[in-house]
Structure 1
Amino acid sequence: MNSDSDQIILAQPRGFCAGVDRAINIVNEALQRFGAPIYVRHEIVHNVYVVEELRTKGAIFVEELAEVPKGAIVVFSAHGVSQEVRRDAAARGLQIYDATCPLVSKVHVEVVKMCKDGFTVLMIGHAGHPEVEGTMGQVNAGIFLIESLADVAKLSFPAQTKLAFVTQTTLSVDETKEIVDALTQKFPQIIKPRKQDICYATQNRQDAVKFMAPQVDVVIVVGSKMSSNSNRLRELAEKLGVPAYMVDSPDQLQADWFVGKKRVGLTAGASAPETLAQAIVQRIQELGPRKVHSLPGVVEDTVFSLPKSLVD
């Protein structure tokens, strides 16, 4: 039995960001207004709990627009889509509601403008991630993916090449800094984004883990395997020397993770709802009584409005 001093320490901020909130609200609003089914291309956000909840309300998740009946309503996920997907949707006569995170859309605009201005664009990100596919798919040519320092080492461009870079919004700040430093050292004239592309929510959640990790004996990250930002939180805790586990259901918790651990830290990725985080807190308490303590941290007040076409 744990003593009274045993605690669950909650990181602040954690959980939903404004872009995720907006994306889920778009699907819910479409279901309410038009009724089921509403088709969603790709998981609206990378969280099993959220996707299953929307599925029970009548959302149908597809990977390809070919799976959608002509003329049906489709929501594009928060990760964004390529121009090819947009053209395909128009050709099929689909009614589109775009849930792309505005911060991702900002990167899309940057890429298109820079390529028009004659730049070769390097995108720092993970191959196969839908955000990367969507961003690189804004242009037909002139953009290259950089995943690692080894990729930077292989790069070679003629001396007169105008270079610029953008980043996937959900990467680790520290991991990106290494690659950015290598790029700027190799190509001193490379153009940086006017504002850092890693989104405010990713930055805030990572900063909160950095603040929490030294105060705890183990970290639980609420998030799904497909969630890039959740994976980065777990990796960050481990880099700071604290055992860390990622779960997206209370029944995934294992009692032996908490043996001899007085202080359990808990955070949640930007696509994980607070209801799920609280269910996981409750399950940890069932494994042994613990007081819950919330850390101070940044209070986020960013709100992204729904598409006018959906609320008018």
Structure 2
Amino acid sequence: MVGSTGGGSAELLRNFIGGRWVDSRAQESLPVHNPARGVVIARTPLSTGEDVDDAVKAATAAFPGWSETPPVVRARALFRFQQLLEANFEELARIVTTEHGKTLDESRGSVRRGIECVEVACGGPSLLMGSALENVAAGIDCVAMRQPIGVCAAIAPFNFPAMVPLWFLPFAIASGNTIVVKPSEQVPLSQRKMFELLSQCDLPPGVINLVHGGRTVVETLCDHPGIRALSFVGSTAVARQVWKRATAAGKRTQALGGAKNFVIMMPDADLEHAIPTVAESFYGCAGERCLAGSILVPVGNAHTNVRDRMVAAA
């Protein structure tokens, strides 16, 4: 339910722009619920286009210096971030469970996958190496160089609030780009914690920016001329809209929607092995995995046995 920014006793979250925590200009906010207890634990400001513009300006100002920073120096910031994530692992997992409702074991798993992304990005000095081949034709050499492109944006979903932003953020840092992150308005607390940790990693002001909000923030990120590339994860319907809008604005766009995966069960399938695996795919993480099994197709006379075993496994 949308309310005024001053309503209720729950904390109103702040944006992180230009190396500082700042109040949003928002006049409205949304409640963040603990789904296990049914209580409001925070409020997400519905930030304005002006808030987004502030973040893009900060990221734009930081880009020249950060893009010229040697890759090994950028990697050191990520090594520090990885260490802080490990030191705060349990707290992060509990934040995810509190704001989202996953089991604690599932939250730990998602935080672990996110940390692994940071570990990969720490290899930036090697990953960013180009290639060269002399004399590919008479008098012609071929050289490929990887260069930072500018300000990037990441729009994250509700189902994996800690993991998915780490698909993008550490790689933007490693590659010399600057970034504006928009977490889901339903589950913003894990990203706040991550930005608190990132603020301890000696990143120049403006390299990383966090803007809370809803549709207005998404549309402004898609349209803003200062953003060169945008990544989105969410529903297929919204992914299509984001891709259309962002590409129309000339951005490199990665829009990842959901996947409806079919699982085909043949009559000779090893059900002792298959049923637990399929049940975990369908029901693990409350079925909210982007690549979860969604439709089970038993073939021939497998139907009755598969159905009964799936019910028992659930």
TM more than 0.5: no
Give 1 or 2: higher strand fraction.
2
TM-score normalized with structure 1 length: 0.30
The TM-score normalised by the length of structure 2 is 0.30
